[in-house]
Homo-oligomer: A and B are copies of this chain.
Amino acid sequence: MRGMALSAFPTPDHDHDRCTADALAHAEALCEARAQRLTPIRRQVLAALLTSHRPLGAYEIIELTGQEGARPAPITIYRALDFLMENGLVHRIESRNAFIACIHNHSTADFVVFLICERCGAVGEVSSGAIGETLSNAARAAGFAPKAPVVEISGICAHCRGA
């Protein structure tokens, strides 16, 4: 499968409940397998991010998680996000200073392109080993030993363009 582009821009009519449930189940299984603790807070933060396919800022997450009275401090959210990112369950969208739940079961090292719709705010992931390799080669050609390329493309998604 390596090198094949795998597109996943969430369509408005997809089964999002299932989408959410799958992602949570995957997180559960992955943490179990790695002997990592998916604590209530971490799960709440992941669940908050899973409510949409838009990247959320720290304060938005605080509002979503702190529904019943006591709202968590920012640092609490950041710590949970750190954990989730280390385990590849959440991505950071650098150009937005925001975070999004990963709904793909790709490895942490996998190269990912984020497609960010300027209209509806939805973010899709396109994973392509070929692009990653091209970028790595370009970096190496400049005498550069690359780590993780960050690729974020702004634009208009198919659904928004159709409407």
Number of A positions contacting B (CB below 8 A)? 39
Q: Chain A interface (Cβ within 8 Å of chain B)? A: 5, 7-9, 94-95, 97, 113, 115, 117-118, 124, 126, 128, 130-131, 134-135, 138-139, 141-158, 161
Q: Is the CB of B139 within 8 A of A128?
A: no
Cα–Cα distance between A156 and B150 once the two chains are bound (Å): 15
- B138 lies within 8 A of A126 (CB): yes
Q: What residues of chain B lie closer than 8 Å to A156, measured between beta carbons?
A: 144-145
Instruction: Compute how far the CA of A9 lies from the CA of B145 in the bound complex, rounded to whole angstroms.
Output: 12
Most chain B CB within 10 A, of A134, A142, A147, A157, is at A142
CB pair A153–B158 under 8 Å, yes or no, is no
CB-nearest residue of chain B to A160: B145
Is the pair A155, B150 in contact by a Cβ cutoff of 8 Å? no
Decide if B128 touches A138 in the complex (CB within 8 Å). Answer: yes
Given contacts A94-B95, A128-B138, A135-B131, contact A155 B151 (CB under 8 A): no
